[in-house]
Amino acid sequence: MDKLKDPRVIVFSVLVIIVIFGVLNNRQATVPQAPVATSTEVQPEVQPEKQKPVELSGTGKTATQEFSLTDGLKRISMTHDGTSNFIVELLDTEGNSVDGSFVNEIGKFDGSTALKVSEGTYLLKIEADGNWTVTIK
């Protein structure tokens, strides 16, 4: 019984009791939680609307009917079978030139150019003395 009165044993016993109570008080009951259902909705990638080709043809000098273009780079292919001036110019609906003339040649022509446009409505002003075609893609 003398060992129980030894101050070291008493201090050690108190420390053990404190540690045991501390561990027991810090233990929390853990209940496994069911996984939470989450939705990862996949949004379809938005593709820019593909430009439908604009195909125009005629004979001689004219202003074409209006047509719509989507935003972006366009390839303008043109032909002319006449012997005089062949001039093609893109206009907005107010009649303003968008980027000057695509072509200004004398005689037969078969060629193309590229132009970056904003989405909108346009028309072509064409000077020709023969048959012509214009395709915009």
Closest CA relative to residue 63, chosen from 128, 136, 126, 133: 126
What are phi and psi for residue 78, nearest 5 degrees? -135, 145
pLDDT at 6: 73
Largest CA distance in the chain: 130
Domains within the chain, CATH numbers bracketed: 54-136 (2.60.120.380)
Query: pLDDT (tens digit, 0 to 9) for every residue of the chain, 137 residues total?
Result: 566 567 776 767 776 676 666 655 555 555 556 555 555 566 666 555 677 999 999 999 999 999 999 999 999 999 999 999 999 999 999 999 998 888 999 999 999 999 999 999 999 999 999 999 999 99
Q: 53 near 134, Cβ under 8 Å?
A: no
